[in-house]
Amino acid sequence: MLDDLQKSKSLYQMTALPSEERDVSNRVERTYQVLRNDLAQVKNELDDLKMELESDQGYFDNKEKEFLRTNIAIFYVTLKDRLNQAQKHYSDFKDAAKEKLCRQVKNIDTDNTYSDEKISEMVDENPDVVANMIQKKVLGVASMELQGAAQDVFEKCESIKKLQKTVKELMQMLKEISEIVSMQGEKVDTIADHVNNAKDHVARAEKNIVQAKKHHSAARCVC
C-alpha cells in the first residue's frame, strides 16, 4: 500500500489532464480508507488480546502471557513505524497537489494580485479562501477556458482539504500509538534483549497472536 502511494504521487506529478488528476486523487483517497480500516482493526485486535492477558481467565499460563506481551509490544512499534511512513507519503502527495494548485492559481491571477508566497500560504491555511478568490476572478468572464481552469481549481481545493484531513488523522493516530509505545516502558526499549531477530520474530508473533485469539475465542464458546 505504501508503494502504491509513492507510485500515485509520481503519476500525479506527470498527469496533465484534470480527469487524470481526479482519478489519481480518488485512488489515493480510497487507499486511505482501506489503510484507516486496517489500522483500526489491528489496533482493536491487539487491545482485545491485551485485555485477555490482563484478565483473570486461565487461557494462558504465565510464560505464554509474557511471550505474547513482548510480541504485542513489538507489534505496536511496527505499527508506529508504518504510521510514520504513511503520514510522510500522504504529506508528500499533499505537497505535490498543492504545488500544482498554486501554479494554476497563479496562471488565473493574471494581474498578480497575490504573490507566490501568499498563494501558498492561503492554500495551506484555507483552500476555501483560494476557491472563493478564483470565483471572483472569473465572475462575468465568458472565456470557457478560464471557466474550466477555475472549475479545476475548485476540485483541487476540495482534494487538498481531504488530504489535509487525512494527514491530520494520521498524525493523531501516530500520537496515540506513540503514547502506547511509551507506556510499554523498558519492555519496548529492550526488545533486542528479548528476541534475536525482531523482523523474523514479528512474523512468528503474528502467527502466534492469530492462533492465540482463535484459542481464547474457542475457549469462551465452551459452556
pLDDT digits (tens, 9 = 90+) for 92-116: 999 999 999 999 898 888 888 889 8
pLDDT value for 15:
86
What b/e readout covers 157-184, taking b as 16+ CB neighbours within 10 angstroms? bebbebbbebbeebeebbeebeebbeeb
pLDDT tens series, the chain, 223 aa: 777 887 888 888 888 888 888 899 999 999 898 888 888 888 788 888 777 777 766 667 778 777 887 888 888 888 888 888 889 999 999 999 999 999 989 888 888 888 989 999 999 989 999 988 888 888 777 678 888 888 888 999 999 999 999 999 999 988 888 888 777 665 555 554 444 444 454 555 556 666 665 655 554 444 3
Q: What is the pLDDT of residue 99?
A: 92
Query: Which three-class secondary structure state does DSSP give residue 56?
Result: coil
Structural contact between residues 152 and 100, judged by C-beta atoms closer than 8 angstroms: no
Pick the CATH number of 2-221 from 1.20.58.70, 1.10.10.10, 3.40.50.410, 3.40.50.300: 1.20.58.70
Phi, psi of 195, rounded to the nearest 5 degrees:
-135, 150
Residue 198: predicted pLDDT: 46
- Please report the pLDDT score of residue 214 as a whole number: 62
Separation CA 194–CA 20 (nearest Å): 49
Q: Taking the CA atoms of 66, 68, 74 and 79 in sequence, report the sign of the dihedral they define.
A: negative
Q: For residue 141, is it left (φ>0), alpha (ψ between -120 and 50) or beta?
A: beta
Residues 7, 180: Cα–Cα separation, whole Å: 31
DSSP class of 115: -
Please answer whether residues 212 and 50 qualify as being in contact, where contact means their C-beta atoms are separated by less than 8 angstroms: no
Distance from C-alpha of 87 to C-alpha of 196, rounded to nearest angstrom: 29
Report the interhelical angle of 62-108 vs 127-138 (nearest 10°). 20
Cell of 89: 507519503
Given this model, what pLDDT does residue 16 score?
81
- What integer pLDDT is reported at residue 4 of this predicted model? 81
pTM: 0.73
Residue 208 · residue 68 · CB < 8 Å: yes
